Amino acid sequence: MINLSKLCMYFSVILSMLLTVFSVEVNAENNVIEVSGEGSVHVAPDKFSLSLTISERGRVPDKLKASVDKRSDMVINVAKSLKIANSDINSARVNLRVIEEKPAIKLHGVELQKKFPSSSNKPIKGSVYIDGNEVSTKKNEKQKPPLFELNRRISVNFSSIDAYDKFLSKIVKIQVNHISSLSMTVKDSDKYYQQALTRAISQAKNKASLIAKHSGINLGKMVYLKERSNNHYQPQYSMAMMADDNSARHQSFTGTNKVSASVVVKFAIIK
């Protein structure tokens, strides 16, 4: 059987040797111990943002805008009914583009017939037939006006996940073409980042103390500190779920996100 006490003793000796070698290599040049530290804080999101798009296709831009504006106003009214401030609603982004239409008929084989008058060898008419039907070849035939697509993007900020759920349940009957993923962030992320940064520095100091202890040296003051991160906060994204009028309103859960910080620290060695 393996003797656990001896195994732990051997591991401790090996660790001590490795730490000693590391510290001696660093001390030989600069008389410092250089360590890295990492810290993190888990925070529940408290700021939520949702974007949706309302679009319409047609050949008259003015009519498209009127239709899109009508549905946009309905969405905005829903947001205002939930006491969402005007500053948290952005509906100014409008885009109009021309849709490139594919030809309705693809020509693979075309039959061309020319009619000649009995007294002349010159044709009086050229006709193209597709599946037995004559297709007009007049040059002055009017072309269709271009097909347009007009869309408006609306962004809404929520102060709670409950307000977001209520908003989705109320826009079910409005013809919304696309809803983006919900963005979940933290309002005061700098405050939590500073907490993570403090933890990173503390971890670095603890590591330096451990190295000094196993190396048989005395740890001095901090002589160098470098921040390797800059408010490293990754927002969460969640797919929007449209609630059915006849079903119970869906309840969303946000979970928590991690705010991280990392540093490089050097401590002087007291001789």
Q: CA-based diameter of the chain, in Å?
A: 122
Least confident of 81-90, 119-128, 199-208, 252-261: 119-128
The token pair that represents 32 in the structure block: 């410092």
127 vs 136: CA distance, rounded Å: 7
Superfamily of domain 47-102+146-180: Protein of unknown function (DUF541), domain 2 (3.30.70.2970)
What is the spatial distance between Cα 225 and Cα 206, in angstroms, rounded to a whole number? 15
Nearest to 79 by CA among 185, 176, 149, 150: 176
Q: Which carries the bigger pLDDT value, residue 103 or residue 14?
A: 103
Please tell me the predicted confidence (pLDDT) of residue 24: 35
Predicted confidence band of residue 120 (pLDDT cuts 50, 70, 90): low
* Region class of 167: left (phi > 0), else alpha (psi between -120 and 50), else beta: alpha
Q: Which one of 50-54, 100-104, 131-135, 234-238 scores highest in mean pLDDT?
A: 50-54
Choose the weakest-confidence range: 12-16, 71-75, 141-145, 247-251.
12-16
Alpha-carbon distance of 207 to 46, in angstroms, equals: 34
Average pLDDT, rounded, for the chain: 78
* Closest CA relative to residue 238, chosen from 192, 179, 187, 194: 179
CATH of span 28-45+188-270: 3.30.110.170
Q: Which residues contact 141 (CB under 8 A, 6 or more apart)?
A: none
Backbone φ, ψ for residue 129 (5° rounding):
-115, 130
pLDDT at 186: 86
Determine how many CB atoms are found less than 10 A away from the CB of residue 248: 8
Q: What is the pLDDT of residue 172?
A: 82
pLDDT the model gives residue 258 = 85
Q: Residue type for 4, please?
A: L
Cβ(161)–Cβ(49) below 8 Å: no
Bridge partners of 237, per DSSP, are: 183
Decide if pLDDT at 102 tops 60. yes
Alpha helices in the chain, H assignment, sequence order: 4-30, 61-81, 161-170, 189-215
Mean pLDDT over 186-208 rounds to: 93
Residue ranges of the domains in the chain? 28-45+188-270, 47-102+146-180
The region of weakest confidence among 70-74, 110-114, 210-214, 232-236 is: 110-114
